[in-house]
Structure formats: C-alpha cells, structure tokens
Amino acid sequence: MSATALAEAPHETRYETIRIADPSPRETKISAQDVHVYYGAKEALHHVSIDIPAKSVTAFIGPSGCGKSTFLRCFNRMNDTIDGCRVVGRLDMDGEDLNDHRQDVVLLRARVGMVFQKPNPFPKSIYDNIAYGPRIHGVARSKSDLDAIVEHSLTRAGLWQEVKDRLQEPGTGLSGGQQQRLCIARAIAVSPEVILMDEPCSALDPIATARVEELIRELRENYTIIIVTHSMSQAQRVSDRTAYFHLGYLVEEGPTESIFNDPQEKRTKDYITGVFG
C-alpha cells in the first residue's frame, strides 16, 4: 500500500501492527495498549500497542511527523505540557497505568527520565545541574549523600573523569557531547527505572555520538531505555528491538536484527533502504 492511500484512509480502518516476537523473551517493563494521541481535533497517533522489554534498548524509527516523538512523550506525560494535546489509552508500567489522571506526574517523571534532542543543561554549575533532581525530590539526606549521588551519576554517564576538577564551573561551558552526557547524568541522578531519549545525538558530531552510543549500551544493564532516532545505523548499533512508525501508525515492531534484515512490511523496507523518509 502506498503512503498516500494510508493518509487518506478513514479513521475506522485499523491497520494491524506486524509483530515479531523475541527469540528469548524478556520481562515486559511497560505495556502500551491502544494508545491514541490527539492534537486538538487531529489524531496524531492511532491505536498504538507495544510491549517495551525491561533492561533493554527499544528504538522508535520512522520519517519525520510519524508520531514517534509524540509517542515517546506519553511515557512520562510530557504531552501534558503541550496545549491541546490529549492522550487516550493505557500505558501499564509494572501493572499501574501511567496515563491515569490520578497518576502523580511529578513522581512519575522521576521514575521515567528524559533526555532531549538538543543538550539543555541549566545555566548552573555542573554540580548543581546533577543535584537539581535529587534536591527537588529530597533524595539526599546530607551534603555527602548528594556528593555521592553527583559522583555516581557522572561516573555512570562517563563524564566524571572529564569534569571532576571543575564541578563548580557552568554546565553550559562544556562541549556539545559533554553537555548531552551531563543531561544523561542529570536524568540518572534521580534513579529512574526508564530513560527516554528523543534523538539524543542529532545535535552532536560523530565522535560525541559514538561516546553517547557507547554510554547507552552500558546503561542498558540497569535501565529500560527507549530511544527515538533518525539514524538507521544508530538504531542498529544500540537497540535490541525496533519499532517502525509511519503517519501515526505503528507499522512493524520486532527484534532489531529481524527488522533491518528481514522487514515484513513494504513501507518498513522502503524506509530502511532509503526509498523514502
């Protein structure tokens, strides 16, 4: 089916997502069930259902405007901050619905951290950038606790050796790649269970990108990671599972290897081979 035919399709039509199971199934961390997102009257995301496995990297790929970033923001309710945006459906994390209106979004966002497209360190010192989350959530009981959290987070993000002697210097003075790792460290500092990454390397040069990708692979040991990316090769390098979105539909999802080597859908195949997108 062509892209235009899909765009013109009436809403009632349901396109079933092609799902390929993992050869060695993992425990599910988050289970999205029939999620719809609306911007005003426009439906931007149609009945997306997907299971995100724990302690692994899931990549969302697809052409611009396909709804992958919108879907990512459902996991920490960042869509709440956008005027006129409405999310319908269930997002179960460990059996509780993230999308429930009674959910405390402030606590949720400590459990589901986020790293943004452009590095966005606060105009504060490196130390205060990391300490920001623990301070607002009252995690640290003493100054030495906080120091330990800062050191631990920076070490995890592979930045400790580079910045340990200048923790009081502004975070905005670091290079782009260091800034992005600072943002990752900042997210780690509140000990999240899930880390969302929205095109984390799109503003970085190839060397900084390689460092961040290496970091993502290390973080997989302890965190559930969901990454949105425009780079096919990045998705192949860092992710365990890949989900392909197209015009607001989840077209195909499965182990990264099988998606890239043996796509079942023509649209997936066209996109990953560069015919369109």
Partner 1 sequence: MNTFIVVAIILIALGFAYNWGARASRSVANRTGAKMHSRPIYYGVYVMLWCAVPAALVLVLYLVFQPMIVDAVIGGYLPADVAADPGATRTAMRNIEAIASGYGIIGDVEPYQQDAADALSAFTLTARLALIALAAAAAIGGLVFAQRQIHPSFRARNRVELAIKVLLLTCSAIAILTTVGIVLSVLSEAIRFFTFVHPFDFFFGTTWNPRFSSTGTGGQGEYGLLPLLWGTMMITIIAMVVAVPIGLMAAIYLSEYAGPKFRFVAKPLLEVLAGIPTIVYGFFALVTVGPFLSRLGDVVGLDINATSALTAGIVMGIMIIPFVSSLSDDIISQVPQAMRNGSFGLGATQSETIRKVILPAALPGIVGAFLLAVSRAVGETMIVVLAAGNSPVLTANPFEAVSTVTVTIVNQLTGDTDFASPQSLVAFALGLTLFVITLCLNVVAIYIVKKYREQYE
The site for partner 1 (CB under 8 A) is made up of 76, 78, 81, 83, 105-110, 113-114, 116, 118, 120-124, 132-133, 136-137, 183, 186-187, 190
Sheet strand arrangement including 28-39: 42-53, 28-39, 85-93, 96-97
Angle at 150 between CA 183 and CA 130, to 5 degrees: 35
Least distance from C-beta 41 to partner 1, angstroms? 17
Structure tokens at 2: 């062509």
Using a CB cutoff of 8 Å and minimum separation of 24, what contacts does 183-186 make? 183/115, 183/116, 183/119, 183/120, 183/121, 184/115, 184/157, 184/212, 184/215, 184/219, 185/130, 185/153, 185/154, 185/156, 185/157, 185/159, 186/121, 186/129, 186/130, 186/132, 186/133, 186/153
Among residues 31 and 172, whose Cβ is nearest to partner 1?
172
Nearer to partner 1, 187 or 243 (CB): 187
At 201, phi and psi to the nearest 5? Answer: -110, 5
Distance between CA 208 and CA 249 in Å, rounded?
32
- Specify the residue, 47 or 73, whose C-beta has the smaller distance to partner 1: 73
Q: Kindly state the smallest distance separating residue 73's Cβ from partner 1, in Å.
A: 10
The span from the CA of 30 to the CA of 94, in Å, is 7
